[in-house]
Amino acid sequence: MLLPPKTSKALDVSFLIDFAKTLPDTDMSEVAAIGYSWGGMAVLFDAARDKRIHALVSLDGSFRYSPGTVQEAGDVHPDQIVIPLLAFSRAEETLESWDAMRQSKNQGGLVPNVLNEWTHGDLLHVRLLAVSHIQFSSLYQRSDRLRREGPQFIPADYSLEEGAVSYNWMARYTLEFLNAYLNHDAAALLFLKRTPTENNVPKHLIAANFRAASGKQVVSGPPSAK
């Protein structure tokens, strides 16, 4: 039987978790899944189906741009997922704002947006203002192709160097997120809740919004912090 690409990629994630269980130096009590582009869609699908995943990181994941694909899956319900999500995206007008405007106009047939529906797990949405989609990938960051073709993709008035700095901050936010929710580090959680300016991010590179879970407790248990 042939499976849709999104489903087969999600099965790859579960396969890797199964493989990790065979390694002697892994702690399976705290598992995070990270995906880029369509990989971001795949890890979302797997997080909905595999309860071994305790935290999720999306690097400009395609679920933001193809919410209909999420709905078509049938068993992926963001409003029922109770794990924390760190979602990185580009700087365009947010789909969440479009969603709100369409709802306010009482338009029918609206496909729910994943980030708006993510209410039972902590959500940190970080927009990287200086990067294009390909710059979320470490492969492209290191490639000659980016140096040759990058200037035609990057947002206006930004440079490849600023994109590289933004990538470094994306890595830092990911590390703090994993420390907060897998290692239960209260200082890391405070980092996530602070503004980019308070975290000494250079101006005009990042916009971030933290929204705490409501209703249900996060599966992995967020660290306590005031």
DSSP per-residue codes, 98-138: HHHHHHHTT-SSPPPPHHHH--SS-EEEEEETT--GGGG-H
Does the residue 224 lie in any domain? no
- The parts of the chain modelled with pLDDT lower than 70 are 1-10, 92-110, 215-226
Which uninterrupted H or E stretch holds 77? none
Q: Give the pLDDT score at 206.
A: 95
Does the residue 152 lie in any domain? yes
Q: Give the pLDDT score at 211.
A: 95
Q: Give the pLDDT score at 166.
A: 96
Does the residue 37 lie in any domain? yes
Q: Give the pLDDT score at 218.
A: 41
Does the residue 124 lie in any domain? yes
Does the residue 220 lie in any domain? no
Alpha carbon distance 104, 117 (integer Å): 16
Range of the domain at 150: 5-23+31-211
Q: Give the pLDDT score at 99.
A: 62
User: Domain count of the chain?
Assistant: 1
Residue 109: partners with Cβ closer than 8 Å, 6 or more residues away: none
Does the residue 223 lie in any domain? no
Residue 71: partners with Cβ closer than 8 Å, 6 or more residues away: 111, 112
Does the residue 193 lie in any domain? yes
Does the residue 226 lie in any domain? no
Q: Give the pLDDT score at 79.
A: 92
What amino acid occupies position 125? H
